[in-house]
Structures are given as structure tokens and as C-alpha cells.
Chains A and B, each alone.
Chain A
């Protein structure tokens, strides 16, 4: 049998990006783990936190830069808002702004869309994860944290299908268990971890991943 290797079978280079989807209870959860990551963390991190009433503008949304400033003040990794055309760099944390769907293009840049909300959310985690999976394929890690929505399940499953790694916060440790539970039901996720262990896991995992070439 002739096994033709197709171009997609990227040779092992390790993981390059981590996408995080989080909804209700997200600020506290993110605060527990993003600041733990070292300055030279080897992945690009893209965080999508549902805010306000998702698609509808609400009071909190008026201060659009709030999350960026909040984590800038707490993280050792550089924190930026995702902007159109921005080349996604490893070692940086990008925060999805409100009101628009955030997508990742083949060239590892951000793009936006005003399509209607998906799973009542804009930005939607599914939209981000699906495009991220398309771009990074088996070099992507997807993480679903606390939330009271089913957004993200389909996207996480897609990451798994395309050879990426999937992690879900153990629902009992989540302020809102619905979203992690839905994600776990969508496919066989690789790791289900208590919130407090996630940063250590990621640090060890990425170190190991880079080590064994």
C-alpha cells in the first residue's frame, strides 16, 4: 500500500496556541490561572470571555478595555486586545473584544465579523475555536472553563477532530458547571482538570512538549 503523505501532516513542532473559552464566573477563574503563567510561556493564548448580555451592549461593555487592563496589571505575560490583522505571537495573551465575532485566519492573524450571535453569543467561542482549529490544526490546545452556556462544545470537538488537545475544567470546581459539562458531553476530551491544577498542568505539559522532539 502506498502511503502518500499529504502536506497537512505537519512535522512535530509542538503546540503553538491555546484558545480559552469562558463565560459566567470567568473573571475569577481566569484570575486564578493566567497570572501563574511564566513570562516566557511558549504558547500564544487567546481568551474569549463572554461579557454583558453577550450580543447586546451593556453597562460593563462600555469599558471595553477593562479585561485587558485588568490582566495586564496581574500577568507576567504581555496582555493585548486582539486587533484586526495582528500577527499572533507566542508568549502573548490576546483578549477578544466585545460585540464582534473573533476569528483566526490561516496566516495566524485575527479577523472580525458581525454575523448574528451564535449560541446567543457574540463573540462566540465556537466561532473562534473552529477557525483556530482550521488554522493551527494539531498544534492547538482548546480549554473550556466555567460558564452557563453551551457555547464552545462544538468548537472544542472540532479541535479534537483536527488533532488538537482538549482540556475542560472539572465541572465541580466551576462557578457555573453547565459549559464544562456540555463540553465534556460533546466528545472524549483529553483532560478534565480542577481549576487550581490547570496552570501547573499547562506549564509542565508545554515544557515536556518542547523537550521530546
Chain B
């Protein structure tokens, strides 16, 4: 079937340098070099990101920045620190919303928060918080359950640009209708409008929600555990990692959790194929809520 490879998919050189190279292979080769350059220059190891989606994002980044091939990007990465900032931003998928999957928040409230009430101080780590919508959702629920005042929430991401937005807590007013809808479905007990102030096109989340949140840069590729947690929320981050990095990150979570601490993952994520499955009990399969069971 090899003869079916069409001309357009191949780079064919004739004469002295005759060779046939498949464009896909050339791109793979360049991406490998790019990832090596990023690792060498900045210590960020993207080799263990799911390759298909990072390839998409690298190509998007290339088009957005007006470069004509990935090799050009390698030079930029090596010599232009500002470009790397932009690259990092492009590598992170920041799409998020408040109370995404409302039934997850409902279950969290009913099965986990009721347990957290037995502690006098509660530490929560929100890893990969992006622009913060999910963190504020959790803070709202904690407040309604009378828990917020005893909580310390660490909200982390490796994308500084997103963290700045998260800290500002200002979102487009047009999103509030959808967020309100999600809030109600998630079992919200008050009126969502009480939690923000709308001004022009913007909605600013109430500052009382922020008092117990610390935003910080934390890179799951290389940074370690930093405190003991009662609950870790990490949704829609592991989907971007390969099995090796997933296992590595889950180990950090396992080490960070107190005995009987909780772990909440995203809709498409699970511990099923991970090294950590033996250390956790699944307490809500559909909602992806796990509880740590083994001492270590």
C-alpha cells in the first residue's frame, strides 16, 4: 500500500540529495527537537503530554505567531524568552466554566463536604485551576455549607496569564446566565447573583470568596507536594498527559492527601489504569470522586 502515499504528503528531492520524507514524519521530527529545546532552555518537559493534542496546539501556536514551520519556532524558543511565555500560554488549554457538570458539584457537596465538616481546619488544593471559575464555584459551595471560614484553598496552575485572571475574579457578564443555570442544577442554596457584582460587561466575584484562596504557580510536571490536603480537585488536566506523567502527578496527589482525603478528577479521567488505583476507593464512579485509603 505504500505506493498509495500521495505526492502531496511527501517531500521529494531529486538528484544528489535524493530522498523521500513523509511530511508527518518531518513534523514529528521537528516537534521532538522543539520539545527538547524547551526542556534544555527552560526545564519544562512536555515529552509526557498526550502527543496528538500537543501537536495540534503547537501547530495552532505556529499559525497564530505567523511562523511558517516548527523549526522557526525552535529558534524563537531558544533565543526569545518572551516568546516562550507566549508558547506556554498556547500550550495550556484554559477552557473552563463555573459548576461545569453540575451533578459533580452536587455530589461533592453531599458526600464530601459533609465529611469535611468534621475537621476544624480544611486544606483544599485546586490543581490546574486555569482562570479560576471552578475555584470560585467551590468557594461558593463551601460558603453555603458554612465551611469556607475554616478552609485554606490553594489554587494553582502553571499558566501565569490564567492565574492573573483568576486572581482578578472578573468574568464576562454574558457568561453569568449559563453559570447561574449550572449553579441551580448543582444544588445552589441561595441566589447566584448574590455572589457577584455586575458592572458594564463585567461581573466581579465577591471579595469574601477570595479571602480563603491563595493563587500560586505550580507546575505539575516538576513541582512537588507542598502541604497536607483534605481535598484535591484536579479536573481536565490529566487528559493532556500521557500515562507516565499521569502516574507521576497522581503520586504527588496521593502523597499530599491526608488519610481519608478526597480526590476529584474530570469527567474523562479515572484511576482505573493508574498505579494509584490500589491506594484509593472510588466513592462516586460517575462523578470521579476518590478517597485515599492506604497509609504510606
Partner-B contacts on A (CB < 8 A): 1-4, 6-14, 83-85, 97, 99-101, 103-106, 111-116, 127, 130-131, 134-135, 137-139, 160-163
Contacts and interface: CB of A to CB of B under 8 A. Distances in A.
A97 B25 CA distance: 30
Interface string B31-56: 00000000000000000001111011
B7 to A, nearest CB: 9
Interface of A is mostly: loop
B18 A8 contact: no
A204 to B, nearest CB: 17
Given A138-B2, A138-B5, A161-B6, A115 B268 contact: no
B267 A12 contact: no
A103 B52 contact: yes
23 contacts: A4-B19, A6-B21, A7-B25, A8-B22, A8-B25, A9-B22, A83-B268, A84-B270, A85-B243, A103-B50, A105-B50, A111-B52, A112-B239, A114-B93, A115-B57, A130-B56, A131-B55, A137-B5, A161-B9, A162-B6, A162-B9, A163-B1, A163-B9
B48 to A, nearest CB: 12
Contacts of B243: 85
A64 to B, nearest CB: 9
Given A113-B240, A134-B52, A161-B8, 9 more contacts: A8-B22, A10-B2, A106-B52, A114-B96, A115-B93, A115-B95, A138-B2, A163-B1, A163-B9
Contacts of A12: 1-2
A206 to B, nearest CB: 13
A129 B33 CA distance: 25
B5 A163 contact: yes
B273 interface: yes
Contact of B239 (A84, A131, A160): A84
Task: Return the 5 tightest CB-CB contacts between A and B, nearest first.
Answer: A103-B52, A131-B52, A163-B5, A111-B50, A9-B2
A200 to B, nearest CB: 22
Interface of B: 1-2, 4-6, 8-9, 14-15, 18-22, 24-25, 50-53, 55-57, 93, 95-96, 236, 239-240, 242-243, 267-270, 273
A112 B52 CA distance: 9
A130 B93 CA distance: 19
Contacts of A8: 5, 22, 24-25
B115 to A, nearest CB: 28
Contacts of B8: 161
Contact of B53 (A103, A116, A138): A103
B18 A2 contact: yes
Listed residue (B2, B15, B53, B268) with the most chain A CB atoms within 10 angstroms of its CB: B268
Contacts of A97: 268
A208 to B, nearest CB: 13
A48 B93 CA distance: 22
B187 to A, nearest CB: 16
A74 B5 CA distance: 36
Nearest to B94: A114
Given A99-B267, A106-B52, A112-B268, A4 B20 contact: yes
